[in-house]
Each structure stands twice: as structure tokens, then as C-alpha cells.
Amino acid sequence: MARYRKTLRRKKGGTTLATASRASAQPASRLPAVAGAAWPYASAPEAHELFLPAARYELFVGGRWTKPKSGRYFQTIDPSTEEPLTQVANAGAADVDAAVRAARTAYERYWRRCPGSTRAKYLYRIARSITERSRELAVLESLDTGKPIREARDFDIPLAAAHFFYYAGWADKLAWAFPGKTPSPLGIAGQVIPWNFPLLMAAWKIAPALACGNTVVLKPAETTPITALILAEIIQQADLPDGVVNIITGGPDTGQSLVTHPGVDKIAFTGSTEVGKAIARECARLRRPVTLELGGKAANIIFDDAPIDQAVEGIINGIFFNQGHVCCAGSRLLVQEPVLETVVQKLDQRMQTLRIGPPLDKNTDIGAINSKAQLQKIRELVRSGDDAGRPRYETRCDLPDRGYWFRPTFFTNVALSDRIAREEIFGPVLSVMSFRTPDEAVDKANNTPYGLSAGVWSDKGSKNFKVTAQLQAGVVWANTFNKFDPSSPFGGYKESGFGREGGVHGLAPYLQR
Amino acid sequence: MAFVPVDAVGLEERAAVLATRSIKRDAKVAGLRLAIGCMDLTTLEGKDTPERVNQLCRKAQEPDPADPLVPPVAAVCVYPNLVTSAKAALQGSPVQVASVATAFPSGQSPLRAKLEEVHAALEAGADEIDMVIDRGAFLAGRYHEVAAEIAAVRATCSNAVLKVILETGELGTYDAVRRASWIAMEAGADFIKTSTGKIAPAATLPVALEMLLAARDFEQMTGRVVGVKVAGGIRTAKQALQYLVLVKETRGEARLHPRFFRIGASSLIDDALMQLAKERTGAYQALEYFPKD
């Protein structure tokens, strides 16, 4: 806070746009100077009493709920209150083995020979069930992750359903997707997903795998297993043949057992670059096909001819969406010098209007950090920004007493060599830098080991096309950010991974061609 | 800052997100009272009569006799010929008399005639003038002409409040809305106003959002606070609350005041009163229970 005040003082010392132009005389107002009334929003919690999680969840293996052979369970908590949510089975090596065997049986006996139109029928059923149970899924997603209900309701759940609808459409048209080839499934897909978009990531993984005729063993993240388990319920109710989808919960050991299990034909992983590299090593050793969707440190580039207010919205959305727990978050902001001061001022002003609080409140913009470990990591990196002496701006609102919370924050005058400019923070922290020419912007944007996404803001179409083509990133947005559609491929360059998910490209990693 | 481009997709998305704010219970009651206090209760019809205006003025001063917490509206808005009646009916009340002028709604008359009309309205006792810009000149790119005309009306108005109607439904793009807003503010408008209500589309959330952003930037640059008036097509309490949300989340609560924000409407007040009665009694009542003037 002290640092923030210091920043404010420094700002007052300089010439700002406002002070510079106030000199031009304007007629004094004919109206009295008055202040409006305070108008706080009343709390508006989403009704959730009907949708609380079960007391305990077992493993979903071979179409049945089975107790873990390990006999162990772990607790998941609501990160916004630290209250326990439910008990979840911890799958050991024997459970992973059982799941892979179930997947193998389902693959050999039924699924690989089942007509594409039949696979499509099941996928459509799953998609419809997700839509029908969307409120329940949104509430549980919000409870489990700490994300605002508004985002779970308007983004996670509808997009998860959209992926199933989309890939259902491809299931009987694979030959048209790859003309001249005869695509066939790979077999058993082992899939490990992260905690930032639990149901959506499950959909990204399961939908294309099933459409292509593979069977699946999916491991959701340790801190956010609930919606994947509800998806298991949905899959059971959709009458999918036993063992086509198996969902096993657990920690890193469970993931390790799955990745190295001899019965698995393909690995798909979304998560940290560190774990991704370890998985890549294992898969190289085992000669196992693998796709990785890893970290990012995306640059958002704002030119001086950009639509500034919408760009500021885009930056806010790009870095603070889902508390910054987004691999494609726009965590570096490159601003052309003539508009730097304006953008920083507007960014601060807009950031102060963000509503941080109970995730289930329909008016909450920013929820809780997903775990204590993540909160510590964010704090550590922010400290490194402070230590480097970078001016810090943050929201001034009150935070709840319990739970894991972090104020939306940005640093200015950041150097490319700073840790906050190089390392993925995976939290609501933005690093602002400036540039003068388009070439410099491209240079700085590409100066990162990552390459998942990027954004360009300019009202000039030709400039957008020229700059976006030079950015080494799997997804580049122009005059928008964080836009997703099942028909659009998503994936990384460099240390952000390889392979694409979404679109016709998302079929390729699950097929022999 | 003055003419920064506007991205239509981004602007509409932001407006749509703000429209999902959930305004319940206390916030709804406070918001609806605020909306009524910011209201320009309007009648702009060829068939208006002094009696009709008289009735409207009664309602303006005491919108719901059963609920003393409902404030009077900000102003009554009429044609110049009815200003005398409105002024007489509102004698001694805080409710202002606003008059449309400058060849409302088209603005297609000589400047001389427009100024004469403004003069007549003021002479009859109008406290506020709602003028229209010359959209013909604006769309032809004769921005100086538009500015000069507003400045001329401004000069004629002396101390009366000047609201400048951009008629955004005829401007075509958000860029044009921003440009027109800026011209009006520089030429001395006290309020920039979306629409006449005679053209569809009238007020929309994205248009209002852009005008609020322009007014905010203008305030930042010049220190002068210009208000925003939304008008036309706002019929439900829910819509009114959405506009209040836009003001709160772009300019801050300090601008939630009739000095800085107005809603021009005729039937909106009935829905607002019905919603307030519902919050008070717990049950919806038929529209028949609310006087229609």
C-alpha cells in the first residue's frame, strides 16, 4: 500500500494529459457542483443449495463408481473460504491400471468398430446433458475453482458443451477432414488436465478423442475434480458403453502412473511447462505420441492508433479473466509511447472498478486464487517486481478475511529481464512495458521462451495483419482477447507446447493417418 | 483523446457484460428511486394539450402519493408552446421545465428560426433547452457548422441548461457518436443526449456507454463535467437500472445525480413505480393501480 501511494505521488509530479490541457479555458459550469448518491449493489448470490457436491466421490472406471484400491481419499476445499467441499478418491497405480484395462476392453470390443454416426450420437447426448445441467455445473465449478459464477455460467460451461456439439459433428466425417487418407484411432488416450478450467479442459480432451474412436482415461487436477466427476455422471446417464471414458482422480503420482502406463497409446497434457517437459521426456523414452499445451507469457501490443477504451477492456479481460489463471493470459502489455500515460491512467481507473469477492455472487468480477500454493507463487513473483523497484498499481478494495485472495495488480516500467516479464505468474499480475516502433514491439513480444498467444490493438487493419503475421504465438487476437470457439485451433509455439486442440486440427493428434 | 477510434465489437461486448449486473432488493429500490429522481418526464406529441401537461406535472412532483420516499422527477420535458402551462403547474416545485427547441426533431430549419424558438421557450420560462444537432451538416462533414450552431444556441441560452441531442440513430457509427459528443461538449453543452425518441434505434446501451466514456475523457482533459442524457425506448425499470450501472461503472457514483445524468422517458415511470410497489408489498399489482398521466 505504501508503495502504491508513492506511485501516486510520482504521478502527480509529472505532467499528465489532464493538467496539460486544463490550461485551455472552458466555460465554468453553470450548474452547482454536487456529488451523486452512493449506490452499492446488494449481494446477489446464485442459488446453490440444490447443487452442493456429494460427501464423497469414487473413481469412475469401466462405467462404474469404484472405490480406490489404494483405500485413500483426499479433501478438496473451497478456495474462497478454505472450507472443505468433498472427499475424492486418490487413485494409486493399481487403479490407473484398472482404468487403462477398462479403456482397452471398451476400445477392442466395441468403440473402435462402432460407426462414426453412433459415436456422434453419444457425443450429442453428452453435449445436451451439459446444457441441461449447466446451472449445477456452473455452481460447482465456481465453488471448486474460486472463479466468479458469471464466468463459469457464461464461459466455461457453454463452451464445454459447444466442444462436444462441435466434435460430435466430425465423428462420422473423419475421411472428409483428411482427404485421401483413411484415418483410424490410436487406441487409449491418457489425458491429464489443469485446474483453471476443469470442465472445459475435460471437454477439450474427451470430445475429439471420442469423435476419433479412441477411448479415454482422464485425470482431472487434484484441486478441482468435481465437475469432471459430474461429467462422469453425465456420461453414465448418456449410456456410453462401459469403459469408453474413465475418470480417475489423484495427484501427481496418479498422473505419473497414467503417463507411463504401458497400455496407453497417446498422452495429452495441459498444464505447467515444468511438468510438460517431464512428460515429454517420458513419452520420448516410451516412443509415445504426445500433445502438450503448456504455459504462456502473452504480449498485448497497443499502438497509438488503437481504440483505447476497448483496448483497456481487452487488457483487463486478458490478464484478470479467471484471476489470471489462464495459460494464454495477456500478462505482458506493450504500449506505444505516445499513449503510455493515457493507457496506464485508464487501466488503473478501470482496475479500481473490478468487483472482488464471493465467487457465487453474480456481480463478482474477480474470485479467489485457486490454491495456497498458487497464492504463494504469485506473492513471490510480485515481491520480485517490488525488489526490482517497478512501480506497482493495485486495487484498493477490501478483501475477504478467509480464503486465498490477491488484488489485481500491474507493474509499470518493467524491463524484459525482470522475472515478472519472463516467468509465467499465472495470477492477476500484469507487466507494462513501452515501445516506439512496430518492429520493436514485435521484437519484444517474441522475446520470451513461450508462444501461446498474443494480442494486437490498432484501428488500422493493414498494421494488424502485418504485425500479427510476425508474432510467434499459436493464437493471435486483433482488437479483442480471450476469444474461443470450438472450430478454432488452439496451441503453442516454443515452450508453450505442441499439437493443436479445437477445429479440424484438433482431430489430428487422435488419429493415425 | 478527442477522436480516438471506437471498436464496435468491444464496446458492445462491454455494454452487454454490464447489462448482466444483478440488481436486487435494496440496490433495486435505491436504484429505481434514483432513476425517478434523474428522470425527464416527457410528452412530445402533436396532440399534447395544456390539460395533459398539467396532469403530467402533478405526477412529476409526487410520482407515488402512497410512497413518500419516491422523489420528484428532475424535469418535465415539453414542446415550446406548452412551457407556459408546465411552468405554471410546477410553480414552487424543484421540478425543472425543459423545452425541446431548434426545429425538434429534425433540426431542418434556418439557424435564425432555431434561435428564435429557443428564445421563445426561454421567455415562456423554460429552465432547460433540449436542442438537436444538424445531422445533415454533421454527416456531410461540416463539423464546424455543427459546432457553431451549438455555440450560438449556447449563447442564446445564457444560464439555462443546454442539452444537445445527437440523434445517434442517424449517425451510423460509434466513431460518429464519439465525434458528435466531443463537438457538443466543446461547444458548451451541459448534457449530451442520445436521441429525440422520434427515430429508431433511440438510446442503446453501447451508445450510452460510448457517450459516458467520451464525457469522462472530456472531464479528465478539461475539468468540466458534462452530463449524459439517455432518451427514447427506455420503458422498463430493468432498462433504467442498466443505464445507472453504466454510469456507476464508467464515471463513478459521484455522477449518479440529476445534475450529471438524466433519463428521458414517458411510460418508464409507471413500470418503475410498479416495481417499487412490488418491493414494498412483496406482490405485483396490475398497471391499473398506477395513474397513467
Q: Which three cell numbers stand for residue A272?
A: 505447467
pLDDT tens for B23-37 read: 999 999 999 999 999
Q: What average pLDDT does range A260-281 have in this prediction?
A: 97
Residue B32 with chain A: CB contacts under 8 Å: none
Task: State yes or no: pLDDT of A25 exceeds 50.
Answer: no
In angstroms, the separation between the Cα of residue B213 and the nearest Cα of chain A is 8
Q: Is residue B290 part of a domain?
A: no
pLDDT recorded at residue A37: 80
Which contiguous run of DSSP H or E holds residue B90? none
Task: Tell me A54's DSSP state.
Answer: P
Q: Is residue B293 part of a domain?
A: no
Q: What distance in Å separates the CA atoms of residue A160 and residue B129, rounded to the nearest whole number? A: 53
Task: Determine the Cα angle at B233 with ends B231 and B236, to 5°.
Answer: 105
Q: Is B27 on the interface with A (CB under 8 A)?
A: yes
Residues A99, A264 contacting (CB under 8 angstroms): no
Give the architecture-level CATH label for domain A49-294.
3-Layer(aba) Sandwich (3.40)
Domain boundaries, chain A: 49-294, 296-478
Q: How far is CA B183 from CA A388, B3, B145, B172, in A?
A: 45, 10, 10, 16
Q: How far is CA B274 from CA B21, B102, B288, in A?
A: 21, 35, 10
User: Sorting pLDDT into bands at 50, 70 and 90, what band is B267?
Assistant: very high
Q: What average pLDDT does range A247-275 have in this prediction?
A: 97
User: Sorting pLDDT into bands at 50, 70 and 90, what band is A18?
Assistant: very low
> Between chains, do A479 and B10 touch, taking CB under 8 Å as contact?
yes
pLDDT recorded at residue A35: 80
> Between chains, do A39 and B244 touch, taking CB under 8 Å as contact?
yes
Q: Name the residue in chain B with its Cα closest to that of A30.
A: B159
Task: State yes or no: pLDDT of A1 exceeds 80.
Answer: no
Containing domain of residue B169, as a range? 8-280
User: Sorting pLDDT into bands at 50, 70 and 90, what band is B289?
Assistant: confident
CA nearest neighbour of A216 among A197, A231, A237, A226: A231
Q: What average pLDDT does range A350-370 have in this prediction?
A: 97
Provide the b/e sequence for B5-42 (b: ≥16 CB within 10 Å): bbbbebbbbbbeebbebbbbeebbbbbbbbbbbbbbbb
pLDDT recorded at residue A31: 60
Q: What average pLDDT does range B205-223 have in this prediction?
A: 97
pLDDT tens for B121-157 read: 999 999 999 999 999 999 999 999 999 999 999 999 9
Residues 6 or more apart whose CB falls under 8 angstroms from that of A145 comprise: A79, A152, A195, A196, A198, A223, A224, A322, A325, A359, A367, A370
User: Sorting pLDDT into bands at 50, 70 and 90, what band is A448?
Assistant: very high
Strands A409-411 and A392-394: antiparallel
pLDDT recorded at residue A10: 36
Inter-helix orientation angle A116-132/A226-237, to 10°: 120
Q: What average pLDDT does range A116-120 have in this prediction?
A: 98
Task: State yes or no: pLDDT of B293 exceeds 80.
Answer: no
What does the mean pLDDT of chain B come to? Answer: 96
Beta bridge partner(s), residue B33? none
Q: What distance in Å separates the CA atoms of residue A166 and residue A503, rounded to the nearest whole number? A: 8
B 64-83 → A contacts, CB under 8 A: none
**Residue A511 burial by Cβ neighbours in a 10 Å radius (0-12, 13-18, 19+):** buried
Q: How far is CA B293 from CA B48, B66, B146, B211, in A?
A: 12, 16, 36, 31
The CATH code for residues A296-478 is 3.40.309.10
Q: Is residue B82 part of a domain?
A: yes
- In angstroms, how far is CA A74 from the centroid of its own chain? 24
Q: How far is CA B190 from CA A460, B129, B187, in A?
A: 33, 10, 10
* Amino acid in the structure at residue A199: L
Residues B83, B121 contacting (CB under 8 angstroms): yes
Q: Which three cell numbers stand for residue A298?
A: 502473452
Q: Is residue B1 part of a domain?
A: no
User: Sorting pLDDT into bands at 50, 70 and 90, what band is A11?
Assistant: very low
pLDDT tens for B86-104 read: 999 999 999 999 999 999 9
pLDDT tens for A217-245 read: 999 999 999 999 999 999 999 999 999 99
Residues A333, A490 contacting (CB under 8 angstroms): no
Q: Is residue B291 part of a domain?
A: no
Top-confidence range, A30-39, A50-59, B1-10: A50-59
Interface test with A, best of B1, B4, B249 (most A CBs within 10 A): B4
Q: Is residue B156 part of a domain?
A: yes
Q: Is residue B247 part of a domain?
A: yes
pLDDT recorded at residue A339: 97
Q: CATH number of the domain at B144, please.
A: 3.20.20.70
What does the mean pLDDT of chain A come to? Answer: 93
